[in-house]
Structure 1
Amino acid sequence: MEPYLPMLAQTPLFASLTQEELPHMLSCLQARHKKFEARQFILHETDSTEDLGVVLHGQVQIITEDAFGNRSITAKLGPGELFGQVAASKLAPSSPVSVMTDSESEILLLKFNKLVTPCTRACSFHSRVIENMMNVLAERNLMMNRKLSILSQRTMREKLLTYLVWQSHDKGSTTFSIPFNRDELADYLCVNRSALSREISKMIEEGIISSERNHFTLYDHSPL
């Protein structure tokens, strides 16, 4: 775990902890380090778990499927980002989502109940991690609200433009890369992949955007 301590100290969950404090905190949380192959499920929808995960290396996708087997990508998470909070907290009887690796990945698994319960050692830094966790949950709720706002748009173009405008705001530039390839973007927007490609081509012809793979430029006159 030692090579990952500098990165973990910068994550939202462990913000304000020093690298000297981190090993003690990880011990309190019964941390385990696991490796996964590309396209391997870490957690299936309807699974029960006591663990939340932190991505150490690689990327994971948060996936949901409807009754007809249609897949939707909720998010793609990279190093330092968390998943599995809802399932591990027991707020739901089982996981509402699946978590699958996008590439070869290393994951840190932590016991959720150890995180939210003050430890017997009365660690001075444990309360800071609990507070950080509340901030992480608030940020994840904001992300879900954003996804709902995108999906509530009436047309495919409006969904795509809403997503791209938010990406532009987040990156602080009208030229930016998104974390999805074209298939994943279609799954995220819950639209047909071929129809999405046609719409992107039309928007390029109309001078609304330019795009190459997952790299976009959004022009000032882009309508919403």
Structure 2
Amino acid sequence: MQVYHLDLHELPLFQGVPAAEVEQFIAATGAKIKRVSRGARILEAYEENHNIGVIVEGEAQVLAEDRFGNENVSHNLERGEMLGSTSAIMPQIPYDMAIEALTDVLVLWIPYQSLLTAGPKLGHTHGLVMKNLLEAFCRKNVLMMQKIKILSQKTLRERLILYLLYKEQRQGKARVQVPGRVQLAKELECNRSALTREISSMQTEGLLHTGEDWMELDAVKIAAMD
């Protein structure tokens, strides 16, 4: 697949790397771009994997599998976010997360071993990519901590408010894009009917404004709750 039209240099992994050097990186590491259809698994839990993936287009979700084989939504992945890094870097540790495509997805797969040995070929570019890779790992840890904080809230209302506040931080605006009610209920680990009632109640109280695919907290009224 031709990659020049995908603006790969705009991905966080290639921040500071000119487009031409991104092409050189692709060639030097043997990275490939593959398409995954909506609803298909990009990675299965416990699957052997030797590549670090980067979402180029589309959206996916991370599913955590418990000891009984049940799956819960951990978090979503959008353009620029990485997947498969844990199983690629530490294959000796069983990785119980699956990745499922929520839309048609393009994934850039970078062989981990090639990434490690490509330094002499790529010079400064390799250093930039490794720096960006470490920053991405840190962002991933932040998302996991945020997930823990959301689910530790005592009430569903508090979960939803904190979830939306984190969305505001990441999207940089008050009116944030959100998934459908079924998906949102999975992310908040609650009953869909209970979530619908809570959203309706918050709308009635003027705490929340919603559209088909967006939500916006009333900052003044939310602040007054503290």
8 Å CA contact 1:56, 1:105 repeated in 2:
yes
Quick check: which one's helix share is greater?
2
8 Å CA contact 2:31, 2:108 repeated in 1:
yes
Paired residue secondary structure (1:197): helix
Deviation string, structure 1 residues 11-70 (Cα, Å, up to 9, x no partner): 111111111111211122221121211100010111121111112222211111324554
Matches of 1:200 and 1:83, distance apart in 2: 32
Aligned-residue offset at 1:116? 3.5
Q: 1:166 to 1:130 in 2, by over 3 A?
A: same
Question: What stretches of structure 1 of length at least 5 have no aligned partner?
Answer: none
Q: Name the counterpart of 2:201.
A: 202
Aligned positions of 1:17-36 closer than 5 A: 17-36=17-36
Instruction: Letter of the 2:212 partner, please give it.
Output: R
Aligned-residue offset at 1:2? 4.2
Aligned-residue offset at 1:122? 5.5
Range that drifts further, 119-128 or 14-23 = 119-128
Q: Name the counterpart of 2:149.
A: 149
Q: Name the counterpart of 1:76.
A: 76
Aligned-residue offset at 1:118? 4.8
Q: Does 1:11 align with 2:43?
A: no
Matches of 1:28 and 1:43, distance apart in 2: 24
In the alignment of these two chains, the number of paired residues is 223
Paired residue secondary structure (1:186): helix
Q: Which runs of 4+ in 1 moved over 4 A?
A: 1-6
Aligned positions of 1:71-220 closer than 5 A: 71-90=71-90, 93-121=93-121, 123-178=123-178, 180-219=179-218, 220=220
TM-score (structure 1 length as normaliser) = 0.90
Deviation string, structure 1 residues 116-150 (Cα, Å, up to 9, x no partner): 34534363311111111111101111111111111
8 Å CA contact 1:86, 1:95 repeated in 2:
yes
Matches of 1:65 and 1:97, distance apart in 2: 6
Matches of 1:60 and 1:192, distance apart in 2: 22
Aligned-residue offset at 1:115? 2.1
Q: 1:13 to 1:171 in 2, by over 3 A?
A: closer
8 Å CA contact 1:42, 1:101 repeated in 2:
yes
Paired residue secondary structure (2:20): coil
Range that drifts further, 37-46 or 71-80 = 71-80
User: Over the residues paired in the alignment, what is the CA RMSD in angstroms?
Assistant: 2.0
8 Å CA contact 1:48, 1:95 repeated in 2:
no
Q: Name the counterpart of 2:50.
A: 50
Deviation string, structure 1 residues 180-200 (Cα, Å, up to 9, x no partner): 211111111111111111111
Question: What stretches of structure 2 of length at least 5 have no aligned partner?
Answer: none
Aligned-residue offset at 1:88? 1.0
Matches of 2:95 and 2:28, distance apart in 1: 24
8 Å CA contact 2:51, 2:112 repeated in 1:
yes
Q: 1:110 to 1:203 in 2, by over 3 A?
A: same
